[in-house]
């Protein structure tokens, strides 16, 4: 959670145009008005991409959790992309017994 806050601060301040952190905080707390260029940069570009990235991460984590609970395969991925594609093929094949755990190289079964 602390890492997320640090990355949010970095995203709002660092870019092609640097905006000091104190100015960003002042803008959100309405203590001081920024120039219209900075305000538009924060509100239209940086804040929208920040919200989009957070919502995409939430959506991906929820869909992965739901998919893992529906398929009832308790795996932790530690391999590469070819292992993941092979596991997805095995998980979607219809000839596997229900609620089976598949153990592959590059995967560790969750306890």
Residue 19: how many other CB atoms lie within 10 Å = 19
Nearest in space to 91 (alpha carbons), one of 76, 72, 107, 63: 72
Q: What is the pLDDT along the chain (111 residues), one digit of tens a residue?
A: 788 888 888 888 888 888 888 888 888 888 667 677 777 888 888 889 999 999 999 999 898 888 877 877 666 655 666 666 776 776 666 555 555 555 555 555 554
Helix axes 47-71, 2-13, angle to 10 degrees: 150
Cα separation, 1 vs 59, in Å, equals: 17
Q: How much is the pTM?
A: 0.56
């Amino acid at each position: 959670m602390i890492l997320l806050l640090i990355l949010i601060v970095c995203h709002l301040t660092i870019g092609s145009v640097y905006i000091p952190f104190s100015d960003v905080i002042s803008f959100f707390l309405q203590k001081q008005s920024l120039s219209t260029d900075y305000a538009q940069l924060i509100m239209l570009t940086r804040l929208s991409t920040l919200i989009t990235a957070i919502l995409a991460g939430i959506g991906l984590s929820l869909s992965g959790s739901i998919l893992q609970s529906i398929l009832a395969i308790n795996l932790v991925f530690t391999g590469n992309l070819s292992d993941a594609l092979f596991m997805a093929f095995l998980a979607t094949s219809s000839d596997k017994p229900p609620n089976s755990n598949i153990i592959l190289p590059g995967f560790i079964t969750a306890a």
